[in-house]
Amino acid sequence: ELPDGGARPSAAQFKQLVVSALRELHGEVGAALPVDVLTYEEKTLSAILRVISSGLVKLWSALTLLGFYQNRRCAFRVLQTSPFLLALSGNSREIVLD
């Protein structure tokens, strides 16, 4: 979330933001954590990230504690986590059964 509505990061800038958040909190070991940006929508600022399960806490904490992007306030909001990519494709609570 970027509350002031300025320039939005591109996919490459978003990936760099994630890596720098990891580096800032966990050092070079955190920055070396393999994180993949599977999808990124610049309009909605939403993304699907893939990380090994042992790195989830490091990634989540780094994103949660990051407060600024290019000297502007920002916040990350985790909407869903899953060990299965297919589970992220839809919300089972919104399925209409006939």
Residue 38 lies in a domain: yes
Residue 52 lies in a domain: yes
Q: Residue 98 pLDDT more than 90?
A: no
Residue 59 lies in a domain: yes
Q: Residue 85 pLDDT more than 90?
A: no
Residue 1 lies in a domain: no
Residue 77 lies in a domain: yes
> Quick check: helix, strand or coil at residue 7?
coil
Residue 98 lies in a domain: no
Overall domain count for the chain: 1
The whole domain housing 32 covers 11-89
Q: Residue 90 pLDDT more than 70?
A: no
Q: What is the CATH number of the domain that holds 47?
A: 3.30.70.3250
pLDDT tens for each residue of 13-69: 999 999 999 999 999 999 999 999 999 999 889 999 999 999 999 999 999 999 888
Cα 76 to Cα 78: distance, rounded to the nearest angstrom: 7
Distance spanning both ends of the chain, measured CA to CA: 37
Q: pTM for this one?
A: 0.80
